[in-house]
Structure 1
Amino acid sequence: MSFTVVLLSVVSAAHLLVTLSLARQVRRLARQAEARPVVLEMDETVGPFHADTTDGARVDRTALPDFGLVAFFSPACPASVDQVPGFGSIAGRFPGGREAVLAVVVGEERAARPYAAELERVARVVVEPERGALGRAFKVRGFPAYALVDATGLVLASSGELDEVFVIP
């Protein structure tokens, strides 16, 4: 009887140590994920890309405006979907108008279409699959993602939160 109690105590203690170790590991990974940028950071340069907008225009890095706003959304990401209307409001007042704003909807064409249609009134819109040309050029690792860029492709500001990138009073 006492052997069984000792064995159960040892097994329980080992289980507790493994559980605590796993919890510590999960917390560490969560902190790393939060610290990891979702898009190129300030002073990095956008890689080469070319894509077609939903209205048939061709965009590439040489077509970036002097001061442009680029946004990435995914219909599969609830946080991304929630930010589309707010982005539309800000993009509609962005200096340079629609030509200075590029919205990229990442996902299957059918799922992306409603969001692309909503964004087309305030931005040039590209629908592309995951790991598409723009996603690779901007090194997108999460959604939503926003970047302010200049005509050379230099990132002036970037974040997963629009108000950290650009605010219009």
Structure 2
Amino acid sequence: MDYSAVAIALVGALAAVNLLFTFGVIRRLREHTAELARMRGGGAGRDDSPVALPAGSRVGDFIAESVDGRPIALDSMGTQPLIGFFSPSCTPCKERLPGFVAHAASRPGGREGILAVIAGSPDEAAALLEQLLPVATVVVEPDRGPVQQAFGVDGFPAFVLVDGDRVKVSDFEFTSITDADAVPSIR
């Protein structure tokens, strides 16, 4: 009988230790979920750090070359250009891309007032390029390239609406950009 009492006590102790480990794992999963939500730019744990230059900031100077060989600068894009920054390895970029493409296709002025910047090598950018090229002027540049630096991009996706040489609105969510884009430029 002593062996069965010891075995029951041992199983009970193991169950208690297992329960403590389970609570620890659940706590860590919650921390990871909050961190992932913050990194993706939404949900619980989101901080308010900007993904690009905040509204009112002056956009830095840049000159880039589009995939079709044309030089691109901010002053060549009209008075209220829309700029989207994407990365081929970014899941939120792929989720928000259809909304960007649809809005860009319906936006007056055509491709000249819309710039899509893909951070990565041309090989990595091929799938995004195929979707963006019909609706936007596209630049493929390395991570932290000159266009990303000019707009202070610190994450992907990043969407920026410019008024003149100043940021009108910037966000990782495209809905705030479309709302601001519906308001005409003051200039």
Same fold, TM exceeding 0.5?
A: yes
| Matched-pair contact (CA < 8 Å) for 2:77–2:112 | no
Structure showing greater relative contact order (alpha-carbon pairs closer than 8 Å, 6 or more residues apart): 1
One of 155, 160, 164 as aligned partner of 2:172: 160
Matched, 1:126 2:139: yes
Identity %: 36
Matched, 1:141 2:154: yes
Letter in 1 for 2:121: E
For 1:48 and 1:32, the matched residues in 2 are separated by: 34
Letter in 1 for 2:163: D
For 2:112 and 2:137, the matched residues in 1 are separated by: 7
Structure whose CA Rg is larger: 2
The 5-angstrom pairing of residues 1-169 of structure 1 reads 34-151=47-164, 153-167=165-179
Secondary structure, counterpart of 2:72 in structure 1: strand
Q: Which runs of 5+ in 2 are unaligned?
A: 1-23, 39-43, 183-187
For 2:107 and 2:53, the matched residues in 1 are separated by: 21
Q: 1:60 Cα deviation (Å)?
A: 1.2
Q: 1:33 Cα deviation (Å)?
A: 6.1
Q: Which runs of 5+ in 1 are unaligned?
A: 1-15
C-alpha spacing 1:32/1:61, structure 2 compared with 1 (3 Å): farther
TM-score normalised by structure 2 residue count: 0.70
| Matched-pair contact (CA < 8 Å) for 2:77–2:114 | no
Residue-by-residue CA offset, 1:119-140 (whole Å, 9 max, x unaligned): 0100000001100000000000
Secondary structure, counterpart of 2:106 in structure 1: coil
TM-score normalised by structure 1 residue count: 0.78
